[in-house]
Amino acid sequence: MDFFELVKLSLISLNANKMRSALTMLGVIIGVASVVAMISIGEGAKGLITKSIEDMGTNLLFVMPGQMKVGGGGHGMGSIQTLTFEDCREIEKNCPSVVGCAPEISKSAKIKAGNQNTVTQVVGTSERYPEVRNTKIAQGRYFTSLELHNQKKVAVLGQSVVDNIFFNIDPIGKDILINRIYFTVIGVLEAKGQSGFTNVDDMIMVPVTTFQKRLFGLDYLRNISVQVKSAELMDSAEQEVGELLRKRHRILNPDDDDFTIRKQTEMLNRMSDITSAFTMLLGGIAFISLLVGGIGIMNIMLVSVTERTREIGLRKAIGAKKADILKQFLIESIVLCVMGGLIGILSGIGMSYLIAKFGNWNTSVSTASILLSFGFSIAVGLFFGIYPANKASGLNCVEALRYE
């Protein structure tokens, strides 16, 4: 019997038990749909994180306090307080491959404006931040190096903070209280939106000197973003920064470094590794439901073989070979899975669309995930169809014909 006739035959037989076929297919539909949707969630997260790292600016190095060694050991990164604003300025001044640096230190603080209160992250940085970290001003202006030098109490607000405490009022020139100290709002940052789980617009930027001396009384930094002139100069910039900091911190052996330099590309790779793992985890869970669907297929195919014992006996009596019967039942189970798979792919695409729309989460349906789940549904049909089909083809003709 040729392939198309077998497909037609299986459609007829599946049509004979519509409800049963539909319910069986539902298992595969749910499995495939969740594979497609879960992978789209993972891929969406990956795209978002990649984009947010790229949004930070280009050709960046990140200098962090403490040492990060592969395989543990050393001081924990960020746990020591050796990095200072002077380090930042010296890097800017003395490293030829460097365009500029943006220091960063942040703490959460209570904000008050009029009778509105909120709690948000206050970030201390320098006038170079907008340029280095690729951040634009939506309204007003950024603070100047003079304001930074004079430890002025000026603040640039993130869009969410404006939304939370000013509503529709123009915030420029207004006063706000940060931990009960008056600041003047001079600008508003352009909204960047959600980045993974954090809202990057929910923060206030103040001069790092004001932050350290007037607000919190500290003298260290959490990190320094270093912008390098070009991608080719990344390695030499890393070396220059390293040497400079070692000299300033009186470190002779690079093994004793009290800082870590990371390239942006490295971070990108690490993040994409993490999101890939996340995608695989989600996909794996979904794949298990596809397997459960497959077990449903096997179950129904076994029932079908039993019900059609006489038919199998008759077919064998009039000349069907073992392989003919095997093919007939195998194709029936594959048709069931492929139909379920196609419907599942469509519902998966629909689901990821709905998740994007109502779940406030980026999703991205990839062709690869569609092909993958389609391939898997054929494989599930084959794998779970083999046993019942083999059982059918192995039936004894005489006994099958006598089966009641």
Phi, psi (5° rounding) for residue 118?
Answer: -160, 170
Query: Min. distance of Cβ 400 from other proteins in angstroms?
Result: 10
- Contact letters for other proteins, residues 375-404 (x by CB under 8 A): ----------------------xx--x---
CA-angle at 77, arms to 74 and 79, nearest 5°: 100
Is residue 285 within the footprint of other proteins (CB under 8 A)?
Answer: no
Q: Which of 51, 69, 322, 357 binds other proteins (CB under 8 A)?
A: 322
Is residue 303 within the footprint of other proteins (CB under 8 A)?
Answer: no
Is residue 141 within the footprint of other proteins (CB under 8 A)?
Answer: no
Report yes or no: 313 and 401 within 8 Å, Cβ to Cβ.
yes
Q: Would you put residue 17 in left (φ > 0), alpha (ψ -120 to 50) or beta?
A: beta
Is residue 319 within the footprint of other proteins (CB under 8 A)?
Answer: yes
CA-based radius of gyration for the chain: 32
Query: Min. distance of Cβ 6 from other proteins in angstroms?
Result: 10
Task: Single out the segment in contact with other proteins by CB under 8 A; choices: 63-71, 142-150, 316-324, 337-345.
Answer: 316-324
Q: Which of 5, 54, 170, 190 binds other proteins (CB under 8 A)?
A: 5
- Please give the size of the binding site for other proteins, defined by CB under 8 A: 21
Instruction: Name the residue type at position 41.
Output: I
Query: Min. distance of Cβ 362 from other proteins in angstroms?
Result: 49
Task: Single out the segment in contact with other proteins by CB under 8 A; choices: 84-92, 268-276, 293-301, 318-326.
Answer: 318-326
Alpha helices by DSSP H, 1-138: 3-16, 18-55, 85-94, 129-132
DSSP state letters, 211-226: IIIIII-----SEEEE
Q: Which is nearer to other proteins, 387 or 403 (CB)?
A: 403
Structure tokens at 115: 């009778």
Q: Which is nearer to other proteins, 258 or 324 (CB)?
A: 324
Alpha helices by DSSP H, 72-118: 85-94
User: 268, exposed or middle or buried, with CB in 10 Å at 0-12, 13-18, 19+?
Assistant: middle
Rounded Cα gap, residues 113 and 180, in angstroms: 10
Q: Which of 314, 342, 372, 379 binds other proteins (CB under 8 A)?
A: 314
By the criterion CB under 8 A, which residues form the site for other proteins? 1, 5, 12, 16, 310-311, 313-324, 397-398, 401
